[in-house]
Structure 1
Amino acid sequence: MSNFSSQLRLSSSLIKRLKDRMTTIQSRRSFTTTEGSRPTIVHKRSLDILHDPWFNKGTAFSMTERDRLDLRGLLPPNVMSSQQQIERFMVDLKRLEVHARDGPSDPNALAKWRILNRLHDRNETMYYQVLIDNIEEYAPIVYTPTVGLVCQNYSGLFRRPRGMYFSAEDRGEMMSMVYNWPADQVDMIVVTDGSRILGLGDLGVQGIGIAIGKLDLYVAAAGINPQRVLPVMIDVGTNNENLLKNPLYLGLQEHRLDGEEYLSVIDEFMEAVFTRWPHVIVQFEDFQSKWALKLLQRYRNTYRMFNDDVQGTAGVAIAGLLGAVRAQGRLMIDFPKQKIVLAGAGSAGIGVANAARKTMSRMLGNNESAFESARNQFWVVDAMGLITEARNNIDPDALPFARKLKEVTHQGLTEGASLVEVVKKVKPDVLLGLSAVGGLFSEEVLEALKDSTSTRPAIFAMSNPTTNAECTPQQAFSTVGGHIVYASGSPFQDVDLGNGQIGHSNQGNNMYLFPGIGLGTLLSGARVISDGMLQAAAECLAAYMKEEELLKGVIYPSISSIRDITKEVAAAVVREAVVEGLAEGYRSMDARELQKLTQEETIEYVKKNMWDPVYPTLVYKQE
Structure 2
Amino acid sequence: METQKRETLGLTGLAPVRVETLEIQKRRALRHLRCKESMLEKYVFLAQLRSTNIRLFYKIVIDELQEIAPIIYTPTVGTACLEYSNIYPFLAAPGVPDGLYLTKGDVPTLCDMIRNYRPFAAEPFSPQIAVISDGSRILGLGDLGVNGMGIPIGKLQLYVAGAGVDPRRTLPIILDLGTNNEKLREDEFYLGLREPRPSDDQFYAAVDNVMKALHTVYPDLLIQFEDWSSEHAFGLLERYQKQTLCFNDDIQGTGAVILSGVINAIRKVNKESNVSPRDHRIVFYGAGSAAIGVARQIQDYFQIEHQMPEEEARKLFWICDSKGLVTKDRGDKLAQHKVYYARDDNDKQYKELIDIVNYVKPTALIGLSSIPGAFNQQVLGRVAELNDQPIVFPLSNPATQAECTFEQAMEATNNKVIFASGTAFPAYTIAKTGEVRIPGQGNNMYVFPGLGLGAILAKPRYISNEMIYAGAKALADSLTPEEENQGWLYPSLARIRDVSAIVAAAVYAEACKEGLAQTTHDLDNEALVRYVSSQMWSPNTEAYGTKIPVHEIHSRI
The alignment status of 1:113 with 2:56, answered yes or no, reads no
The alignment status of 1:613 with 2:513, answered yes or no, reads no
CA deviation map 1:582-608 (0-9, x unaligned): 1111xxxxx2xx1x1111111111111
The alignment status of 1:398 with 2:331, answered yes or no, reads no
Shift of 1:245: 0.6
Letter in 2 for 1:420: I
The alignment status of 1:144 with 2:74, answered yes or no, reads yes
Aligned to 1:340: 282
Letter in 2 for 1:611: W
The alignment status of 1:167 with 2:103, answered yes or no, reads yes
Aligned to 2:12: 72
Letter in 2 for 1:68: T
Shift of 1:214: 0.6
Q: Give runs of aligned pairs for residues 474-493 of structure 1, distance below 5 A.
A: 474-493=407-426
**Which residue, out of 291, 310, 328, partners 1:349?**
291
Distance 2:337 2:409 in 1: 30
Aligned to 1:51: none
Distance 2:479 2:40 in 1: 33
- Decide whether the 8 Å contact of 2:324 with 2:350 is kept in 1: yes
Aligned to 1:81: 21
The alignment status of 1:250 with 2:186, answered yes or no, reads no
Shift of 1:556: 1.1
Aligned to 2:350: 416
SS of the residue corresponding to residue 318 of structure 1 reads: helix
Shift of 1:548: 5.1
Shift of 1:180: 1.4
Aligned to 1:549: 483
Letter in 1 for 2:73: Y
The alignment status of 1:208 with 2:149, answered yes or no, reads yes
**Which residue, out of 392, 399, 402, partners 1:469?**
402
Please identify, of 181-190 and 472-481, the stretch whose mean Cα deviation from structure 2 is larger.
181-190
Letter in 2 for 1:180: N
Distance 2:198 2:107 in 1: 12
Distance 1:229 1:256 in 2: 27
Provide closer, same or farther for how the CA distance between residues 247 and 451 of structure 1 changes in structure 2, counting only shifts above 3 A.
Answer: same
The structure with the largest alpha-carbon Rg is 1
Provide closer, same or farther for how the CA distance between residues 396 and 561 of structure 1 changes in structure 2, counting only shifts above 3 A.
Answer: same
Aligned to 2:251: 310
- Decide whether the 8 Å contact of 2:406 with 2:439 is kept in 1: yes
Distance 2:335 2:349 in 1: 15
Aligned to 1:10: none
Please give the root-mean-square deviation of Cα atoms over the aligned residues, in Å.
Answer: 1.8
Aligned to 2:555: none
Distance 1:339 1:354 in 2: 14
Letter in 2 for 1:377: L
Provide closer, same or farther for how the CA distance between residues 539 and 201 of structure 1 changes in structure 2, counting only shifts above 3 A.
Answer: same
Letter in 2 for 1:136: Q
SS of the residue corresponding to residue 171 of structure 1 reads: helix
- Decide whether the 8 Å contact of 2:22 with 2:56 is kept in 1: yes
Shift of 1:554: 1.6
**Which residue, out of 222, 227, 230, partners 2:171?**
230
SS of the residue corresponding to residue 397 of structure 1 reads: helix
Please identify, of 318-327 and 388-397, the stretch whose mean Cα deviation from structure 2 is larger.
388-397
- Decide whether the 8 Å contact of 2:474 with 2:506 is kept in 1: yes
Please identify, of 83-92 and 535-544, the stretch whose mean Cα deviation from structure 2 is larger.
83-92
Distance 1:197 1:64 in 2: 50
Distance 1:63 1:132 in 2: 31
The alignment status of 1:365 with 2:298, answered yes or no, reads no
Distance 2:219 2:73 in 1: 28
Distance 1:306 1:433 in 2: 23
Number of aligned pairs? 529
- Decide whether the 8 Å contact of 1:319 with 1:542 is kept in 2: yes
- Decide whether the 8 Å contact of 1:237 with 1:254 is kept in 2: yes
Distance 2:293 2:375 in 1: 21
Letter in 2 for 1:129: K
- Decide whether the 8 Å contact of 2:269 with 2:275 is kept in 1: no
Distance 1:310 1:145 in 2: 20
Distance 1:612 1:62 in 2: 24
SS of the residue corresponding to residue 247 of structure 1 reads: coil
TM-score, scaled to structure 1: 0.82
Shift of 1:380: 0.9
**Which residue, out of 233, 236, 240, partners 1:295?**
236
- Decide whether the 8 Å contact of 2:450 with 2:504 is kept in 1: yes
SS of the residue corresponding to residue 365 of structure 1 reads: coil
SS of the residue corresponding to residue 194 of structure 1 reads: coil
**Which residue, out of 517, 529, 532, partners 1:603?**
529
CA deviation map 1:248-288 (0-9, x unaligned): 11100011112101111100000000111111100001001
SS of the residue corresponding to residue 232 of structure 1 reads: strand
Distance 1:552 1:608 in 2: 30
SS of the residue corresponding to residue 230 of structure 1 reads: strand
TM-score, scaled to structure 2: 0.92
**Which residue, out of 425, 433, 454, partners 1:520?**
454
Shift of 1:395: 1.8
Shift of 1:474: 0.9
Letter in 2 for 1:573: V
SS of the residue corresponding to residue 189 of structure 1 reads: strand
Letter in 1 for 2:148: G
Distance 2:41 2:351 in 1: 45
SS of the residue corresponding to residue 17 of structure 2 reads: coil
Distance 2:302 2:3 in 1: 62
- Decide whether the 8 Å contact of 1:281 with 1:522 is kept in 2: yes
SS of the residue corresponding to residue 330 of structure 1 reads: helix
The alignment status of 1:506 with 2:440, answered yes or no, reads yes
Shift of 1:247: 1.8
Shift of 1:432: 0.4
Aligned to 1:276: 217
CA deviation map 1:79-110 (0-9, x unaligned): 1111111112222222x22xx2xxxxxxx211
Distance 1:466 1:62 in 2: 49
Provide closer, same or farther for how the CA distance between residues 236 and 152 of structure 1 changes in structure 2, counting only shifts above 3 A.
Answer: same
Aligned to 1:177: 113
**Which residue, out of 563, 573, 597, partners 2:497?**
563
Shift of 1:175: 2.9
Letter in 2 for 1:459: V
Distance 1:336 1:520 in 2: 32
Aligned to 2:550: none
Distance 1:479 1:470 in 2: 13
- Decide whether the 8 Å contact of 2:367 with 2:396 is kept in 1: yes
- Decide whether the 8 Å contact of 1:322 with 1:335 is kept in 2: no
Q: Give runs of aligned pairs for residues 14-163 of structure 1, distance below 5 A.
A: 62-94=2-34, 96-97=35-36, 100=37, 108-159=38-89, 160=92, 161-163=97-99
SS of the residue corresponding to residue 533 of structure 2 reads: helix
Distance 1:266 1:616 in 2: 36
- Decide whether the 8 Å contact of 2:270 with 2:277 is kept in 1: no
Provide closer, same or farther for how the CA distance between residues 616 and 364 of structure 1 changes in structure 2, counting only shifts above 3 A.
Answer: closer
Provide closer, same or farther for how the CA distance between residues 181 and 400 of structure 1 changes in structure 2, counting only shifts above 3 A.
Answer: same
> Unaligned 5+ residue runs, structure 2?
119-123, 544-557
Letter in 1 for 2:226: E
Distance 2:203 2:108 in 1: 14
CA deviation map 1:287-345 (0-9, x unaligned): 01121111110100101010100000000110010111122253999534321011111
- Decide whether the 8 Å contact of 1:389 with 1:402 is kept in 2: yes
Shift of 1:63: 4.1
